[in-house]
Chain A
Amino acid sequence: MDGHAGDIGPGFALARDVPDFALLDPALPLDRLRLLAGACVRTDPLRCVQCGLCNYNCPLGLDVRGHARQGRSILEPRCLACGECVRRCPREALGFGARSARQEAP
């Protein structure tokens, strides 16, 4: 299992990757719950100029910019996957992608 984007195959344990699943608002649409289970906001530091539009538009006040600076994915359990940061980023430095190990490595 190579962990290709979009794959939620064997070894991709929901319980492990979404530890706060029970805390999610059950009124969230099913596609967003699925997105949260298998994907996250990923960042591309090469495209980012640290303007801060992502932080400004995050309803939870997460430090998206700090993640983008280091090229880390937003694995913060509180992330709603609302897409505000992705939509507002003027340089397409943010996007939804599979939770792969590459960006999470220190």
Chain B
Amino acid sequence: MTRRHVIIGSGIAGLTAAETLRERDPGASVTLVGAEAHPFYSRPGLAYLLAGALPERQLELRTKEELRALALDRLVDEVTALEPEAHRVRLRRRGVLAYDRLLLATGSAAVAPDFPGATLDGVVQLDGLDDARDLLRRARRARTAVVVGGGATAVELAEGLAARGLTVHYLLRGARYWASVLEPAESQLVEEGLAGQGTELHRHERVVGVEDDRGRVRAVHTSSGAVLPCELVAVAIGVRPRVELARAAGLSVERGIAVDAGLRTSAPDVFAAGDVAELRDPESGAGRCDVLWSSAVAQGRAAACAMLGEAEALDLRPRQNVMRLGGVTTTVVGAVGAGDGAAEDPDLVAIARGDSERWRDRPRGQAFHDRGARFRIRAHVGERTVVGAVVMGDARAARALAHLVRAGTDVSALGAGLRADPEHAVAALVALGEADEQKGASRAARA
């Protein structure tokens, strides 16, 4: 009998799972249910749509031919209930849908602000394509925007709105940007980049209220007593996994849906992948969340294999992400600790998009820095390996150090030399990373 696979969620985890299922089980029935009616699109690409760097249709992830070949039964509908014992889900419009294997890939949603006036027309967030369209429409009429929050999305909002010609005020609750990941000098590079684009930074400031003009935003009142007249308040204070469906069905849910290394939830034949899944750390046993594209792809693939009963180990190598922050391409990989020791970022009430909790692990070993005029490189070197790195503005170093961290290359031969000559330590590591990567390429070529 044909096995009925049902996927809930049309983000990259769901799409990757659908493609993996089709590839490995060409005869299977694959149904994907999602509330969004748009073609599959790149959510991270919304930042570039907002900035005007590309048109909307470019965000589409697959061609019509690819989608035809995928032979997916795609339903635009909302799942109202999951009934794990009966192996079925209830849909708002189409009634009941039975499954043999179910994947929950419902992603995460932006946390709503709670300051007075948060529900006024003109207070906006950037969760999906509809939000981006709405923002673009509003940006055409607005002259001034206030951005609050942290992480990559807040900066993308500030950069995007500035690129659209708005005057942008960016409010930071603390002394600097993203203190839970970046060191002070790294934050400074982002802040300088934002200022260079015309964004005005306000430190130690938060919104105490939004002034109401017949239901619309007129101005933001800040904690220092300032009044910033504006038509838009863009908020990015973090995201939370969309767990409501799983929780109501009695699945084990912590912050995300608890899954094992095979992406299995606590309910039989129900799997979870992407932002919504909370994986246990194999060493500490603690639940860890990632809101990363690469994690969602890896988990979507692994979950599909598990749904087919095939064992394919999930890629658990150190997490990596690349972000454009204030015009500076920033790569974060592995354990990099918490900036200057602040585990919490006052600008975020939950994890940001593009963030991984595994980055917060305290890097054991010594940190080496390279600070140029337009770049910053930080490498954390443990006993034998490079355990983490933050690379801003240097593509070569970013690639080489990310390779060393993810491959777990033994760098102990450099050990004493690094400590004796810390000025050149990063350069030596980058050279080793490049050589090691090429050695790997040559080995693969010979094989």
Contacts and interface: CB of A to CB of B under 8 A. Distances in A.
Nearest to B297: A45
A4 B438 contact: yes
Interface in A55-106: 55-56, 88, 90-93, 95, 100-102, 105
Contacts of B329: 90-92
B441 A47 contact: no
B399 A95 contact: yes
A55 B58 contact: yes
Contacts of A95: 395, 399
B54 A93 contact: no
A51 B59 CA distance: 6
B398 A51 contact: no
Secondary structure of the A contact surface, majority rule: loop
A5 B59 contact: no
A87 to B, nearest CB: 11
Contacts of A55: 58
Interface residues of A, number: 24
B100 to A, nearest CB: 29
A3 B45 contact: no
Nearest to A44: B399
A46 B334 CA distance: 14
B372 interface: no
Contacts, number: 82
Interface in B308-323: 320, 322-323
Contacts of B294: 46
Nearest to B12: A50
Interface residues of B, number: 33
A53 B48 contact: yes
Contacts of B324: 90-91
B225 interface: no
Contacts of B402: 46
A2 interface: yes
Contacts of B60: 52
B440 interface: yes
Contacts of B58: 51-53, 55-56
A49 interface: yes
A102 B54 contact: no
Contacts of B399: 44, 92, 95
A49 B297 CA distance: 10
Contacts of A2: 438, 442, 445
A3 B61 contact: no
Contacts of A100: 438, 441-442, 444-445
Nearest to B317: A46
Given A102-B440, A105-B444, 13 more contacts: A2-B438, A46-B320, A50-B293, A51-B44, A53-B45, A53-B54, A56-B53, A56-B58, A90-B48, A91-B323, A92-B329, A92-B395, A102-B444
The 7 A-B residue pairs with the shortest CB-CB distance, nearest first, are A51-B45, A101-B445, A52-B58, A49-B44, A91-B322, A102-B441, A102-B444
